[in-house]
Amino acid sequence: MEREMLNCPNCDTEIGFKPIEFVDVSTDPDYKEKIMTGQFFLVKCPECGAEIMVEYPVMYMDPDKKLNVYMSPDHEGDLLEQLNSLDVPEGDIDAEAIYRLVNSPTELLEKILLADGGRDDRIMELYKALIVETIREDFPQVQPQDLLYYVDGEEEYFIVWDYENEDGEQLTIEVDEELYQQLREDHIEALGIPANKYAEVDAVWLMDRIEVEA
Ligand SMILES: [Zn+2]
Protein backbone atom coordinates (compact mmCIF):
# COMPACT_ATOMS: atom_id res chain seq x y z
CA MET A 1 0.00 0.00 0.00
CA GLU A 2 1.16 3.48 -0.84
CA ARG A 3 2.43 5.69 1.89
CA GLU A 4 0.46 8.91 2.11
CA MET A 5 1.41 12.29 3.49
CA LEU A 6 -0.54 14.90 5.35
CA ASN A 7 0.29 18.09 7.19
CA CYS A 8 -0.51 18.34 10.87
CA PRO A 9 -3.24 21.02 11.22
CA ASN A 10 -1.77 21.91 14.62
CA CYS A 11 1.98 22.29 13.98
CA ASP A 12 2.22 21.82 10.20
CA THR A 13 4.68 18.91 10.45
CA GLU A 14 4.55 16.61 7.45
CA ILE A 15 3.34 13.17 8.59
CA GLY A 16 3.56 9.95 6.62
CA PHE A 17 1.00 7.21 7.19
CA LYS A 18 -0.08 3.98 5.57
CA PRO A 19 -3.79 3.71 4.91
CA ILE A 20 -5.22 0.30 5.84
CA GLU A 21 -7.50 -0.33 2.88
CA PHE A 22 -8.46 -3.94 3.59
CA VAL A 23 -9.69 -5.14 6.94
CA ASP A 24 -10.37 -8.81 7.45
CA VAL A 25 -11.35 -9.22 11.08
CA SER A 26 -10.80 -12.97 11.01
CA THR A 27 -7.07 -12.26 10.70
CA ASP A 28 -6.98 -8.78 12.29
CA PRO A 29 -9.54 -8.63 15.11
CA ASP A 30 -7.75 -5.54 16.49
CA TYR A 31 -8.96 -3.50 13.56
CA LYS A 32 -12.58 -4.13 14.43
CA GLU A 33 -11.90 -2.85 17.95
CA LYS A 34 -10.18 0.22 16.54
CA ILE A 35 -13.04 0.98 14.18
CA MET A 36 -15.50 0.64 17.08
CA THR A 37 -13.55 3.07 19.25
CA GLY A 38 -12.90 5.48 16.38
CA GLN A 39 -9.13 5.02 16.68
CA PHE A 40 -8.82 3.40 13.29
CA PHE A 41 -9.10 6.65 11.38
CA LEU A 42 -6.78 8.67 13.62
CA VAL A 43 -3.20 9.52 12.74
CA LYS A 44 -1.02 10.84 15.53
CA CYS A 45 1.39 13.66 14.85
CA PRO A 46 4.86 12.53 16.03
CA GLU A 47 5.84 16.14 16.68
CA CYS A 48 3.01 17.63 18.76
CA GLY A 49 0.87 14.56 19.53
CA ALA A 50 -2.26 15.92 17.86
CA GLU A 51 -4.61 13.23 16.57
CA ILE A 52 -5.83 13.86 13.08
CA MET A 53 -8.89 12.22 11.57
CA VAL A 54 -8.24 10.80 8.11
CA GLU A 55 -10.89 9.15 5.98
CA TYR A 56 -10.18 6.99 2.97
CA PRO A 57 -11.90 4.03 1.32
CA VAL A 58 -11.80 0.83 3.39
CA MET A 59 -13.02 -2.64 2.55
CA TYR A 60 -14.24 -4.27 5.78
CA MET A 61 -14.75 -8.03 5.84
CA ASP A 62 -16.02 -10.30 8.59
CA PRO A 63 -16.14 -13.80 7.05
CA ASP A 64 -17.80 -15.36 10.14
CA LYS A 65 -20.72 -12.99 9.83
CA LYS A 66 -20.54 -12.98 6.02
CA LEU A 67 -20.38 -9.23 6.23
CA ASN A 68 -18.65 -7.14 3.57
CA VAL A 69 -18.83 -3.37 3.86
CA TYR A 70 -17.08 -1.01 1.51
CA MET A 71 -16.74 2.41 3.07
CA SER A 72 -16.02 5.14 0.57
CA PRO A 73 -16.36 8.68 1.95
CA ASP A 74 -18.25 11.03 -0.38
CA HIS A 75 -18.04 8.59 -3.25
CA GLU A 76 -19.10 9.09 -6.86
CA GLY A 77 -22.69 8.27 -7.75
CA ASP A 78 -21.77 5.37 -10.00
CA LEU A 79 -19.56 3.55 -7.50
CA LEU A 80 -22.35 1.10 -6.68
CA GLU A 81 -22.69 0.23 -10.37
CA GLN A 82 -18.96 -0.26 -10.62
CA LEU A 83 -18.92 -2.59 -7.62
CA ASN A 84 -21.80 -4.58 -9.04
CA SER A 85 -20.41 -4.82 -12.55
CA LEU A 86 -17.89 -7.42 -11.44
CA ASP A 87 -18.92 -10.91 -12.37
CA VAL A 88 -19.11 -13.37 -9.50
CA PRO A 89 -18.22 -16.98 -10.32
CA GLU A 90 -21.29 -19.20 -9.93
CA GLY A 91 -19.69 -21.21 -7.11
CA ASP A 92 -19.00 -18.07 -5.06
CA ILE A 93 -22.60 -16.89 -5.01
CA ASP A 94 -23.92 -16.88 -1.46
CA ALA A 95 -27.43 -15.58 -0.88
CA GLU A 96 -26.73 -15.12 2.83
CA ALA A 97 -23.71 -12.91 2.38
CA ILE A 98 -24.18 -9.20 2.98
CA TYR A 99 -22.59 -6.63 0.68
CA ARG A 100 -22.96 -3.00 1.61
CA LEU A 101 -21.64 0.35 0.48
CA VAL A 102 -21.46 3.13 3.07
CA ASN A 103 -20.33 6.76 3.17
CA SER A 104 -18.75 7.31 6.55
CA PRO A 105 -17.05 5.66 9.54
CA THR A 106 -20.30 6.12 11.50
CA GLU A 107 -22.26 4.17 8.90
CA LEU A 108 -19.58 1.49 8.85
CA LEU A 109 -19.74 1.25 12.63
CA GLU A 110 -23.52 0.85 12.52
CA LYS A 111 -23.29 -1.99 9.99
CA ILE A 112 -20.78 -3.76 12.25
CA LEU A 113 -23.01 -3.31 15.29
CA LEU A 114 -26.08 -4.54 13.41
CA ALA A 115 -24.21 -7.68 12.41
CA ASP A 116 -23.05 -8.12 16.02
CA GLY A 117 -26.64 -7.81 17.22
CA GLY A 118 -27.81 -10.29 14.59
CA ARG A 119 -30.11 -7.69 13.03
CA ASP A 120 -30.96 -7.23 9.39
CA ASP A 121 -30.03 -3.68 8.40
CA ARG A 122 -32.90 -3.45 5.89
CA ILE A 123 -35.46 -4.20 8.58
CA MET A 124 -33.72 -1.83 10.97
CA GLU A 125 -33.98 1.01 8.43
CA LEU A 126 -37.69 0.31 8.29
CA TYR A 127 -37.80 0.24 12.08
CA LYS A 128 -36.12 3.66 12.19
CA ALA A 129 -38.58 5.13 9.70
CA LEU A 130 -41.43 3.81 11.83
CA ILE A 131 -39.99 5.35 15.00
CA VAL A 132 -39.69 8.71 13.26
CA GLU A 133 -43.38 8.55 12.33
CA THR A 134 -44.35 7.46 15.83
CA ILE A 135 -42.49 10.24 17.67
CA ARG A 136 -43.23 12.96 15.12
CA GLU A 137 -45.63 14.78 17.46
CA ASP A 138 -43.04 15.17 20.23
CA PHE A 139 -39.95 15.37 18.04
CA PRO A 140 -40.98 16.82 14.67
CA GLN A 141 -37.40 17.42 13.53
CA VAL A 142 -36.05 13.90 13.95
CA GLN A 143 -35.03 12.18 10.71
CA PRO A 144 -34.25 8.46 10.23
CA GLN A 145 -30.60 9.49 9.71
CA ASP A 146 -30.52 10.77 13.32
CA LEU A 147 -31.18 7.28 14.66
CA LEU A 148 -28.17 5.07 15.30
CA TYR A 149 -28.43 1.45 16.30
CA TYR A 150 -26.40 0.40 19.29
CA VAL A 151 -25.87 -2.92 21.01
CA ASP A 152 -24.10 -3.35 24.32
CA GLY A 153 -24.30 -6.91 25.62
CA GLU A 154 -27.99 -7.66 26.11
CA GLU A 155 -29.06 -4.08 25.59
CA GLU A 156 -30.13 -2.96 22.17
CA TYR A 157 -31.41 0.46 21.35
CA PHE A 158 -31.48 3.35 18.93
CA ILE A 159 -29.66 6.49 19.93
CA VAL A 160 -31.53 9.55 18.72
CA TRP A 161 -28.56 11.72 17.94
CA ASP A 162 -28.63 15.25 19.43
CA TYR A 163 -31.97 14.76 21.17
CA GLU A 164 -32.62 14.57 24.88
CA ASN A 165 -35.39 12.99 26.93
CA GLU A 166 -37.38 14.76 29.69
CA ASP A 167 -34.52 14.25 32.14
CA GLY A 168 -32.00 15.90 29.86
CA GLU A 169 -30.32 12.60 28.97
CA GLN A 170 -29.48 11.30 25.52
CA LEU A 171 -32.73 10.11 23.99
CA THR A 172 -32.70 6.37 23.28
CA ILE A 173 -35.37 3.95 22.14
CA GLU A 174 -35.18 0.28 22.98
CA VAL A 175 -35.42 -2.34 20.25
CA ASP A 176 -38.65 -4.29 20.64
CA GLU A 177 -38.08 -7.89 19.61
CA GLU A 178 -41.71 -8.54 18.74
CA LEU A 179 -41.97 -5.50 16.50
CA TYR A 180 -38.69 -6.38 14.80
CA GLN A 181 -39.88 -9.91 14.04
CA GLN A 182 -43.19 -8.60 12.78
CA LEU A 183 -41.53 -6.10 10.45
CA ARG A 184 -39.21 -8.81 9.25
CA GLU A 185 -42.01 -11.19 8.52
CA ASP A 186 -44.11 -8.60 6.70
CA HIS A 187 -41.47 -6.81 4.65
CA ILE A 188 -38.30 -8.83 4.13
CA GLU A 189 -39.48 -10.01 0.73
CA ALA A 190 -40.10 -6.50 -0.55
CA LEU A 191 -36.59 -5.54 0.58
CA GLY A 192 -34.73 -8.26 -1.30
CA ILE A 193 -31.26 -7.62 -2.72
CA PRO A 194 -29.80 -9.87 -5.44
CA ALA A 195 -27.19 -12.34 -4.14
CA ASN A 196 -23.60 -11.04 -4.04
CA LYS A 197 -24.65 -7.51 -5.02
CA TYR A 198 -23.70 -4.43 -3.09
CA ALA A 199 -26.46 -2.14 -1.85
CA GLU A 200 -26.42 1.21 -0.11
CA VAL A 201 -28.98 0.35 2.55
CA ASP A 202 -29.99 3.62 4.22
CA ALA A 203 -33.07 5.83 4.68
CA VAL A 204 -33.15 6.81 1.00
CA TRP A 205 -32.81 3.21 -0.13
CA LEU A 206 -35.74 2.27 2.08
CA MET A 207 -37.95 5.13 0.87
CA ASP A 208 -37.51 3.95 -2.70
CA ARG A 209 -39.02 0.62 -1.72
CA ILE A 210 -41.55 1.06 1.04
CA GLU A 211 -43.95 3.74 2.15
CA VAL A 212 -43.92 4.02 5.91
CA GLU A 213 -46.99 4.95 7.94
CA ALA A 214 -47.23 4.80 11.68
ZN1 LIG B 1 1.61 18.28 14.99
**Domain assignment of residue 28, yes or no:** yes
Percent over 70 (pLDDT), the chain: 99
- Say whether both 116 and 137 belong to one domain: yes
How many angstroms separate the alpha carbon of residue 11 from the centre of ligand 1? 4
Could you give the C-alpha distances from 36 to 7, 22, 40, 111, 187, in angstroms and in order? 26, 16, 8, 11, 30
How many angstroms separate the alpha carbon of residue 40 from the centre of ligand 1? 18
- Say whether both 126 and 189 belong to one domain: yes
How many angstroms separate the alpha carbon of residue 32 from the centre of ligand 1? 27
- Say whether both 40 and 122 belong to one domain: no
How many angstroms separate the alpha carbon of residue 51 from the centre of ligand 1? 8
**Domain assignment of residue 137, yes or no:** yes
**Domain assignment of residue 212, yes or no:** no
Domain that holds residue 69: 57-207
Model confidence pLDDT, tens digit, residues 70-107? 999 988 889 999 999 988 888 888 999 999 999 999 99
**pLDDT above 70 (res 214):** no
Count of domains observed in the chain: 2
Model confidence pLDDT, tens digit, residues 52-66? 999 999 999 999 999
- Say whether both 112 and 85 belong to one domain: yes
Measure the CA–CA gap between 164 and 182, rounded to whole angstroms.
Answer: 28
- Say whether both 72 and 165 belong to one domain: yes
Indicate the average pLDDT of the chain: 94
* Listed residues 55, 81, 96: the one ending a domain: 55
- Say whether both 40 and 135 belong to one domain: no
How many angstroms separate the alpha carbon of residue 52 from the centre of ligand 1? 9
Q: In terms of pTM, does the model score above 0.85?
A: yes
- Say whether both 61 and 47 belong to one domain: no
- Say whether both 69 and 155 belong to one domain: yes
- Say whether both 154 and 81 belong to one domain: yes
